Amino acid sequence: MVLCITAIANQLYQHLNQRTPIAAHVAGYQDTAKQPRITVADTSIGPMTILMIRDTAQSVEDIGNTLNTNFGELFTYLNQYGIQPKKIMAFYHTYQPPYVMDAAVEVDKEPQQVTGNIRLNKMNGGQAVVAHYQGPYERVDTAYTIIGRWLQEKRKTPEGSPFEVYLNDPSTVSDPYQLRTDIYQMVKQ
At residue 189 the predicted structure's pLDDT band, cuts being 50, 70 and 90, is: confident
pLDDT at 117 over 50: yes
CA 2 to the chain's CA centroid? 39
Largest CA distance in the chain: 70
At residue 27 the predicted structure's pLDDT band, cuts being 50, 70 and 90, is: low
pLDDT at 12 over 80: no
Q: What are the residue ranges spanned by the domains of the chain?
A: 37-186
Q: Which H or E run contains 77?
A: helix 60-81
Residue 173 CA to residue 136 CA, distance in Å, equals 11
pLDDT at 67 over 90: yes
The CATH code that applies to domain 37-186 is: 3.20.80.10
| pLDDT on residue 20 | 40
What percent of the chain stands above pLDDT 90?
81
| pLDDT on residue 73 | 98
Strands of the sheet with 85-92, listed across from one edge? 37-45, 126-134, 180-186, 163-166, 85-92, 99-107, 48-57, 119-123
DSSP 31-58: ------EEEEEEEEE--EEEEEEEEEES
